[in-house]
Amino acid sequence: MSLKIIVSQCTVCGACEFECPNAAIKFKNDTYVIDPALCTECEGSYDSPQCAEVCPVPDTCVPA
């Protein structure tokens, strides 16, 4: 279980990288990418996935 970022919609603001409790989000090739091996969908940390909560573009951090 993990989330992914829809690259075509991403504004590359980096808020998700900043909020991710697992350091699962990295800036690669001009965009942000979620490492599925590290993503926990924030279970055990927060009520909801932080990247999706903070992302300014609707439906851009979505279940993989």
Query: Does residue number 60 form part of the binding site for another protein (CB under 8 A)?
Result: no
- C-alpha span between 44 and 27 (Å, rounded): 25
Does residue number 57 form part of the binding site for another protein (CB under 8 A)?
Answer: yes
40: its two tokens: 């926990």
Cβ–Cβ under 8 Å, residues 6 and 33 = no
- Rule CB under 8 A: say whether 6 interacts with another protein: no
Smallest gap, in angstroms, from Cβ of residue 17 to another protein? 8
**Binding residues for another protein, per CB under 8 A?**
11-15, 18-19, 46-48, 50, 53-54, 56-57
